[in-house]
Copies of this chain bind each other. A is one copy, B any other.
Amino acid sequence: MKIGAQAHRTSAISSSNEATILVRGRDLCAELIGQISFTDHVWLLITGELPTTAQRRVLDAALVAIAEHGLVPSVQASRMTLAAAPEAFQGAVAAGLLGCGSVILGASEEAGHLLQEVVTRAEATSMATAAADIVHEYKAARRHMPGYGHPLHKGYDPRARRLLEVAKEAGTHGRYAQAAEAIDVVLPQISGKPLAMNVSAAIPAILLDAGYPLLALRGAPLLARTASLIAHLLEERTKPIGFVLSHAGASAIDYDGPVPDGFVARDQ
């Protein structure tokens, strides 16, 4: 059955014949393999153009910053999945990426929309006023500010600070970074909580300033985390901890449902 309007029947990403593969209009083998970095290729795939030196540097920094932060939930889900299903490395990576959501790791996109709103409003007022207005609106609506606050890095997230420095060094620091910094200033005052900018606001700030598309922001943490999951799954294949993780998790939870007479749960 036909679902949706189906107005588009084209794609501009790749074409090929028996001798040649085109990617974004360029001959993959003659122009790209061995001549550009993977980061260049990521930018080319997503935007259709090769990056400038500054754009490449900013994307490299963002991907390096978000790739790895220890045994976070997505990593644990991935390692447990490989332990249970070692035949499907790709399934374990997929399980890990499914935890790259709006709460953990994937908030870059939500934060990007927030920064876009501040930047747009700031055209008619100052950045500081636009930021304060939005923080007040979020507070009134009891909405969480995506990209601010971190359970471990309470004073500030060292990755966020470093990413904004890199943007300055690269010469791309602009309106989106200013918006992120403006929120960073007013949020603790208005919310009354020590919520500092974290990596998930810094990434959209510097990527949007560099010309990376808003609607592909979720891709940045997903790509970076894929690299981290490969490292963890290699470790899982050689020094497995997947079942240690699940045993520890189960041991932390008590059963509080009904129990028949005489039933005694096993020692965990």
Chain A interface residues toward B at CB < 8 A: 1-4, 6, 8-29, 32-34, 36-39, 41-42, 45-46, 48, 57, 59-61, 63-65, 67-74, 76-77, 80-81, 83-95, 97-106, 109, 151-155, 158-159, 161-163, 165-166, 169, 213, 215-216, 218-219, 222-224, 226-228, 230-235, 237-260, 263-266, 268
| Cα distance, A29 to B256, chains bound together (Å) | 20
What B residues does A65 contact at CB under 8 A? 28, 33
Let me know if A46 and B166 touch, CB within 8 A.
no
Across the interface, A98 reaches (CB within 8 A) one of B46, B59, B88, B103, namely: B88
Question: Taking CB as reference atom, which chain B residue is nearest A57?
Answer: B34
Given contacts A152-B1, A257-B24, are A13 and B235 in contact (CB under 8 A)? Answer: yes
Subset of 25 A-B contacts with CB under 8 Å: A9-B253, A11-B70, A13-B231, A15-B259, A15-B263, A19-B153, A22-B263, A26-B260, A29-B162, A33-B61, A33-B162, A38-B42, A45-B230, A46-B230, A70-B250, A76-B245, A84-B106, A85-B98, A85-B103, A89-B106, A90-B106, A219-B233, A223-B230, A244-B249, A248-B252
